[in-house]
Amino acid sequence: MDKRILVVGATGMLGEPVARHLKGDGFQVRILARDRNKASKVFDESYEIVDGDVMDEGSLEKSLDGCFGVHINLSGEIEQVGVETVVSVAPRKGVERITYISGTSVFEENTWFPQTKRKFLAEKTIRESGIPYSIFCPTWFMESLPKYVREGRAFVFGKQPNLYHFVAADDYARMVSTSYRLDNAVNKRFFIHGPEGMLFHDALRQYCKEFHPEIKKISTMPYWVANIIARIKGSKEMKFASEFMAFFEKVGEGGDPAEANRILGAPEITLDMWIKQRRDRM
Ligand SMILES: NC(=O)c1ccc[n+]([C@@H]2O[C@H](COP(=O)([O-])OP(=O)(O)OC[C@H]3O[C@@H](n4cnc5c(N)ncnc54)[C@H](OP(=O)(O)O)[C@@H]3O)[C@@H](O)[C@H]2O)c1
C-alpha cells in the first residue's frame, strides 16, 4: 500500500488538482471535508472522505490517523490558525511531511499586507514544527483569470505594469505531488512561476479572446473607483480583489523559481496551452 496523504481544502480551486495528482501518482488520498455531500460530488469513491474541520482538533486527530503527509490548502482569515491547528496535532500522529500553499510575495517586508502576514506566520509555524516540509510559493494562477470577468466586462484593478509568470494549477499540483517522493524537496520553499512573463491585461485579453469573444476591451479600473463601487455594493470580494492587486502592483512577483524547477521539473503549460485544455474539457 502506498503512503496516505490528507488534503485539507481539497474542494478548493487549488486543492482539488493536488488531490488528483497525488492520487494519479499512486498515493492514497484522504479528503478532510466540512461538507461530505459537496466533497463527494467532486471526488469519487477511490478517495477517502472524512468529516472534519481544520479548526477542530478532535476531527484532525482522527483524520490524520495513519497519514504520512498532510497538504494544506486554505484561504482567507482562517489560514494561519488552520495551519497552527494542523501543526499542533501532526507530531503526535506521526506525520512525516507537510506541504502548504503560500504565495510568491510572502516575505517579511511585505507583512504590512494582512494576507501576507497570515501566510508568513503560517510558514514560520511549519518551519518551526520540526516536521519535514515543502512550502509552495506560487505566483498568479491561470485559473484566477475567469474571476476578472463579470457581467459582460473584463477588468483589471490598477495599471498592473509588472510581468507575472502565470502558472497552471496542473503544473503546480504535479510539483506538489512530486515533492512527496523526493528527499531533496524537504525543508524548502519553492517559488512556482509559469513559463512566460505576461502583463495581467494581456493574459486576460488572451483568455477573453477564446471564452468571451464579445468582450473587445480589457478595462482598467482605478483603485479608488473599485473601492467606492465595493463600498456601495457591499462587496467584500471586490474590495479584497482591488486591495490584493494594489499590493501586487507595489511589490511585484517575488522569489526565484530556479530551485523548484531543478528539483521538481519546471512548469511547461503556457497560457495558450491552458486555454486549449480548458476549451477541450468544456
Ligand atoms: N489564486 C491565485 O492565483 C493564488 C496564487 C498563489 C497562492 N494562492 C493561494 O492558494 C490558496 C488556496 O486557494 P484556493 O483558491 O484553492 O482557495 P479556496 O477555493 O477558497 O479553497 C479553500 C478550501 O479550504 C476549505 N476550508 C475552508 N475552511 C475550512 C475549515 N474550517 N476546515 C476545513 N477546510 C476548510 C474549503 O472547503 P469548503 O469546500 O468546505 O469550503 C476549500 O476546500 C490561498 O491561500 C491563496 O492565497 C492563490
Note the pLDDT of residue 175.
98
Within-domain flag for 275:
no
Ligand 1 contacts CB of residue 103 (under 6 A): yes
Give CA torsion, residues 158, 159, 162, 168, to 10 deg: 60
Residues in the chain: 282
Q: Is 12 in the pocket of ligand 1 (CB under 6 A)?
A: yes
Mean pLDDT of 7-11: 98
Which SS3 state, helix, strand or coil, does residue 69 take?
strand
What Rg do the C-alpha atoms of the chain give, in angstroms?
Answer: 19
CATH of the domain at 126: 3.40.50.720
All cell numbers assigned to 195: 513559463
- pLDDT band, residue 2 (cuts 50/70/90): confident
Cell, residue 267: 512548469
Is 105 a member of any domain? yes
Q: How far is the CA of 33 from the centre of ligand 1 (A)?
A: 12
Q: Has residue 221 been placed in a domain?
A: no
Judge whether 156 lies within some domain. Answer: no
Do residues 158 and 220 make contact, with C-beta atoms less than 8 angstroms apart?
Answer: yes
In the chain, the number of structural domains is 1
* Residue (of 153, 181, 191) closest to 267 by Cα position: 191
The CA angle 196-201-202, to the nearest 5 degrees, is 45
Query: Which residue type does 132 have?
Result: P
Report residue 239: phi and psi, to 5°.
Answer: -60, -45
- Position 229 in a domain: no
pLDDT at residue 60 tops 70: yes
Output the CA torsion 257→265→137→195 (10° steps).
60
Looking at 152-161, 185-194, 260-269, which range is the least confident one? 152-161
**Among 73, 89, 167, 244, which residue has the most ligand 1 atoms within 8 Å of its CB, making it the best to mutate?**
73
pLDDT at residue 137 tops 60 = yes
Residue 127 within any structural domain of the chain: yes
Determine whether the shortest distance from the Cβ of 74 to ligand 1 is under 6 A: yes
CB 187 within 8 A of CB 96: no
How far is residue 115 from each of residues 87, 112, 170, measured CA to CA in Å?
19, 9, 24
Instruction: With CA atoms as reference, report the closest residue to 10 among 176, 191, 185.
Output: 176
pTM: 0.97
What pLDDT, in 10s, does the model give residues 85-121? 999 999 999 999 999 999 999 999 999 999 999 999 9
Q: Which residue is associated with the grid cell 501566510?
A: 119
**130 pLDDT higher than 70:** yes
Flag whether 201 is in a domain.
no
Mutate to test the pocket of ligand 1, among 55, 101, 175 (most ligand atoms within 8 A of CB): 101
Residue 282: per-residue pLDDT? 86
Q: Are 144 and 204 in contact (CB under 8 A)?
A: no
The mean of the pLDDT values for the chain is 96
> 79 is in which domain, residue-wise?
4-131
- Confidence (pLDDT) at 1: 57
Cα–Cα dist 274/257, whole Å: 20
Q: How far is CA 275 from CA 19, 100, 103, 196, 217, in A?
A: 22, 27, 23, 14, 19
Phi and psi at residue 120, to the nearest 5°: -60, -45
In a domain, 83, yes or no: yes
